[in-house]
Amino acid sequence: MRTSGPITSRVYRRQPYGRVFAALLLFVTFPACKTSTEGVAAATQLTRTSQRLSAYYGDLSSQVQDTVALKQIQADVMFGSPFDSSIQNELDETRRELAQRQALAVAMGNVATAYAALAGTNSAADIGSAASGLAKQCEDIHKLPGGPAIPDVVGKAAQLLLDQIRERKLRQSSETISNAVKAVGALFDAEKPVYESINSDRIKLASEIARHLVKKEDVVDLNPALAPALKPFDLTANLPVHQPPDKYRSLAAEEITARSNQQISDYAAASDALSASLKAVSEQIAKVAKSR
Amino acid sequence: MNEALDALQQNYFYLTDNLDDLLDCCQTDAQKQQLKADYQQATANFYQARNKIFQANDAGISQAVTQLKAAQTSLEKMTQELASAASVINAITTAVRIGTELAAMAK
């Protein structure tokens, strides 16, 4: 025995769908994905900057290691005495400090990975799967009166609903991350002259030892110093091996000085570029926090 | 770079840049030994001062690492929550499917 007529029954069963669709349709009107797109772009930039920062500190640490070797050569060749171990202790301490900063860059890289995951890389698959699953399952609703357009709307609305949640979470987290990156950038800027001094120290030591070897010791092949003039004509210099004239030694020494200055200047430019990248990525993430 | 470190760097770099010429100027072994001792002291002064700059910033680094780790944990939690939201959608899907089957049965 039926407790209600067919029309009543149909209307009764349609009510829950109507409410769900109405709720989901509200999300269709929201401009979704802008924050996520900006978040993905910012996460990519943060990953790149973290990698550059980590490589920068790794290279700086290698430069300190080279400085230890140069100090040993300097002591042997220029002073004829053993290397002072207290200097090595100080340089070892510098390397430990740089290792801490490299760990900081790695931590920033880990944040970039987590930020990218939230912005869309991993969770997008879940969302896409959920949305397409929902749309597929809703195909039968076509059969319900007034339903032809609904499954597509439901599928889109489901994704938009999750996009809304994700974008709210992205905005919440972006300000914190931007501040942390800004702090890393401030530290980098404050210590940049010291980083540059580590690089200058290595280059100045190497160039002074090299100039000494060129001027005082007969252990350096000076032919490359003449190569720019001779190479275009397939000629090679034939300098006396043990007693090259002083003017050729001076030529090589001047080349060492010029290249040292260039390397120091290039390193300062690279440090400035990294500083600018840290500022830019911090601002890019801050923009995600404010996006609507 | 602070003024003290800058002064120590200038002193050390000047000696490094001109070490060979300065050694040439020495007329006795005693003078060379004195120059060597002075150079080592200038080196130690500069390296110690430089490490102090680094050490002074250590608290800031620890704080930044802590901040970054907290941000990472928070992001991972948020991503999990987002995955949970996707699960909720799946649950809705299931409910809709059941509802659809019920609707079909009612025809």
How many CB atoms are located within 10 Å of the residue A259 CB?
Answer: 13
Complex ipTM value: 0.77
For A76-91, what is the mean pLDDT? 92
Q: Is the pLDDT of residue A84 over 90?
A: no
The answer to whether residue A148 scores a pLDDT higher than 70 is no
Answer whether B1 touches A (CB < 8 Å): yes
Average pLDDT of chain A is: 80
Q: Which residue of chain B is at minimal alpha-carbon distance from A185?
A: B64
Residue A142 has pLDDT above 90, yes or no: no
Residue B47 CA to residue A273 CA, distance in Å, equals 26
- Chain A neighbors of B42, CB-CB under 8 A: none
Q: Do A131 and B67 touch (CB under 8 A)?
A: no
Would you state the pLDDT for residue A143? 43
Give the contacts of A140 (CB within 8 A, at least 6 positions apart).
B97, B100, B101, B103, B104
Using an 8 Å Cβ cutoff, are A95 and A195 in contact?
no
Q: Is the pLDDT of residue A280 over 50?
A: yes
Of A34-43, A53-62, A64-73, A183-192, give the lowest mean pLDDT range: A34-43
Best A138, A182, A199, A288 residue to mutate vs chain B (most B CBs within 10 Å): A138
pLDDT given at position B17: 95
Lowest mean pLDDT across A58-62, A105-109, A267-271, B86-90: B86-90
Least confident among A83-87, A104-108, A151-155, A209-213: A151-155
Give the DSSP per-residue string, chain B: --HHHHHHHHHHHHHHHHHHHHHHH--SHHHHHHHHHHHHHHHHHHHHHHHHHHHHTHHHHHHHHHHHHHHHHHHHHHHHHHHHHHHHHHHHHHHHHHHHHHHHHH-
Tell me if A138 and B100 make a contact (CB, 8 A cut-off).
yes
Question: Which of A11-25, A213-227, A257-271 has the lowest average pLDDT?
Answer: A11-25
Closest CA to A245 of A283, A203, A214: A214
Burial (0-12, 13-18, 19+ Cβ within 10 Å), A153: middle
Interface test with B, best of A88, A134, A142, A271 (most B CBs within 10 A): A134
Per-residue pLDDT averaged across A118-144, rounded? 51
CB-based contact, B2 to chain A, within 8 Å: no
Virtual torsion, Cα A34, A36, A42, A46, nearest 10 deg: 180
Is the whole model's pTM more than 0.90, yes or no? no
Contact B39, B15 (CB under 8 A): yes
Do the chains contact at A172 and B78, CB–CB below 8 Å? yes
Digit-coded pLDDT (tens) for B43-68? 999 999 999 999 988 888 888 888 88
Q: How far apart are CA A35 and CA A21, in angstroms?
A: 25
pLDDT digits (tens, 9 = 90+) for A19-55: 444 444 444 444 446 777 888 899 999 999 999 999 9
pLDDT at site A212:
94
Residue A275: its pLDDT value, please?
98
B59 has a chain A CB within 8 A of its CB: no
Question: Which residue positions in chain B have pLDDT lower than 70?
Answer: 89-90, 92-104, 106-107
Q: Tell me whether residues B57 and A187 touch, CB distance under 8 A.
A: yes
Tell which of A73, A86, A108, A123 to mutate to test the B interface (max B CBs under 10 Å). Answer: A123
Half-sphere exposure of B69 (CA within 13 A, CB side): 8
Q: What is the pLDDT of residue B97?
A: 65
